[in-house]
């Protein structure tokens, strides 16, 4: 998130930025900013703040964004298809090079220049292309079994859009995006907004 704020500051031609300004734009506090950054090193100058360009490249390095990542998208429903051409991925060096679906009516269809491959090919393709990340956008009921296949294919990172927790071996990292859950959080906030001590 800091990286995003910093990049925005850079496009405005800003040379330096204080922890206070970074906090303001990022929706946190200056102490938090300084503590967070101090985890990785000492990037600022007292009295001046942080050099925007330098901090951007440091953060890119730390986050692992100074290289390309190969991504498979599994599940070509509405969401999956939308993600294939999502700017936000390619902008950050995430390169989608394979998309998969189990539905024969969808296999072969071309989306954004990429032909949908059949699930059966996944293990074989992965052995050759060695993608690091799989995005799972299949219905909840299939999410776990798809995750198992992805893991078996040697992929160690999963971005899960299904609203169920996935069980994977410890070498695999899973991050989940759960839109319905967030909406439910909003419903909760709306119902309890007047009540004292609402859940954060």
Q: Between 46 and 193, whose beta carbon lies closer to a copy of itself?
A: 193
Q: Which is nearer to DNA, 4 or 48 (CB)?
A: 48
| Residue 152 near residue 169, CB atoms below 8 Å | no
Please, are residues 104 and 76 in contact by the beta-carbon 8 Å criterion? no
Q: Which of residues 48-107 bind DNA (CB under 7 A)?
A: 48-50
Which residues of the shown chain bind a copy of itself in the complex (CB under 8 A)? 1, 3-4, 8, 25-27, 39, 62-65, 69, 71, 78-79, 81-83, 85-86, 88-89, 91-92, 94, 132-133, 156-159, 163-165, 167, 171, 173, 175-193, 199
Q: Does residue 6 bind DNA (CB under 7 A)?
A: no
Asked whether the beta carbons of 159 and 136 are under 8 A apart, the reply is: yes
Asked whether the beta carbons of 161 and 79 are under 8 A apart, the reply is yes
Which of 107, 166 has the CB closer to a copy of itself?
Answer: 166
Strand ranges in 146-199 using DSSP code E only, listed in sequence order: 157-160, 173-176
How do 49-51 and 16-17 pair as beta strands? antiparallel
Choice between 51 and 114, CB closer to DNA:
51
Could you say which residues in the range 20-59 bind DNA, by CB under 7 A?
A: 20, 28-32, 34-35, 37-38, 42-50
Of the candidates 65, 136, 130, which has an alpha carbon nearest to the alpha carbon of residue 99? 136
Q: Closer to DNA at the Cβ: 15 or 121?
A: 15
Cβ proximity of 93 and 152 under 8 Å:
no
DSSP symbol at 138: S
44 binds, among a copy of itself, DNA, none (CB under 5 to 8 A by kind): DNA
Enumerate binding residues for DNA (CB under 7 A).
18-20, 28-32, 34-35, 37-38, 42-50, 200
């Amino acid at each position: 998130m800091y990286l995003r704020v910093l990049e925005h500051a850079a496009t405005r031609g800003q040379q330096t930025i204080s922890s206070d300004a970074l906090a303001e734009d990022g929706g946190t506090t200056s102490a938090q900013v300084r503590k967070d950054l101090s985890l990785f090193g000492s990037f600022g100058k007292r009295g001046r703040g942080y050099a925007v360009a330098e901090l951007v490249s440091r953060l890119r390095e730390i986050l692992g964004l100074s290289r390309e990542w190969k991504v498979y998208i599994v599940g070509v429903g509405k969401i999956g298809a939308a993600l294939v051409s999502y700017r936000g991925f390619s902008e950050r060096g995430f390169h989608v090079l394979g998309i998969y679906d189990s539905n024969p009516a969808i296999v072969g269809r071309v989306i954004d220049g990429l032909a949908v491959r059949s699930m059966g090919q996944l293990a074989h393709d992965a052995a050759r292309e060695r993608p690091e990340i799989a995005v799972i956008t299949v219905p909840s009921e299939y999410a776990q079994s798809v995750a198992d296949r992805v893991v078996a294919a040697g992929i160690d990172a999963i971005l899960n859009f299904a609203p169920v927790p996935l069980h994977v071996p410890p070498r695999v990292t899973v991050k989940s995006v759960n839109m319905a859950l967030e909406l439910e959080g909003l419903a909760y906030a709306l119902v309890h907004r007047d009540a004292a001590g609402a859940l954060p």
